């Protein structure tokens, strides 16, 4: 009886400390239970094709920053022909591979905390094509003045996540990893 109680208490403690049962399901219980991986951010981009194709022109946004429908809109063949003023056309095979990757790891499919917050913030526009238009994103950046971004030649736009979020490539967007070029560490 004591051994059973110890196991239940240990597993309960781990679930409270390291994540949810859904996360345990995603990676396998024992691997999840004995890992210290943080599930508070978004899943890191690991797909080499995505990093090469999309990351060669701009920051390779993590799939968990937008819902599946947004990624479907963005990777539509016609939309890629005029991708925010640029021609980003891909052959059908590559486009489908990227779409599968992004849709499969999108915010609405993710178990990561920040992705869930993004999904719960969506209201009037459940499938925005700009991360900077996601209500959660807007709320997180609403107190940042133009002198830090738009009027800062080293940043220029909030769409350049990796300019200020020093660990954005690793899918970490914590406030304490923010260093604004030419201004210093951001303190709220």
User: What is the mean pLDDT for each group of 10 consecutive residues in the chain (188 residues)?
Assistant: 66 52 54 62 93 95 97 97 96 97 94 94 93 96 94 96 95 92 87
Q: pTM of the predicted model, to two decimals?
A: 0.78
Q: So what's the pLDDT on residue 124?
A: 84
Q: So what's the pLDDT on residue 35?
A: 58
Q: So what's the pLDDT on residue 11?
A: 60
Q: So what's the pLDDT on residue 100?
A: 95
Give the residue among 43, 38, 42, 48 at the shortest CA–CA distance from 18: 38
Q: So what's the pLDDT on residue 36?
A: 53
Name the strand (E) or helix (H) holding 26.
helix 21-27
């Amino acid at each position: 009886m004591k051994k059973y109680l110890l196991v239940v208490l240990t597993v309960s403690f781990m679930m409270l400390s390291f994540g949810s049962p859904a996360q345990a399901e995603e990676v396998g219980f024992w691997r999840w239970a004995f890992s210290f991986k943080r599930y508070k951010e978004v899943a890191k981009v690991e797909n080499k094709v995505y990093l090469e194709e999309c990351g060669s022109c701009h920051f390779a946004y993590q799939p968990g920053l937008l819902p599946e429908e947004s990624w479907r809109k963005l990777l539509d063949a016609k939309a890629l022909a005029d991708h925010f003023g640029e021609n980003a056309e891909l052959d059908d095979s590559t486009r489908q591979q990227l779409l599968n990757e992004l849709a499969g790891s999108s915010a609405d499919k993710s178990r990561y905390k920040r992705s869930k917050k993004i999904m719960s913030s969506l209201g009037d526009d459940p499938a925005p094509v700009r991360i900077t238009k996601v209500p959660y994103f807007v709320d997180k950046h609403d107190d940042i003045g133009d002198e830090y971004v738009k009027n800062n030649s080293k940043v220029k736009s909030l769409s350049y996540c990796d300019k200020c979020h020093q660990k954005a490539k690793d899918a970490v967007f914590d406030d304490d990893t923010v260093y604004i070029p030419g201004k210093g560490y951001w303190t709220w």
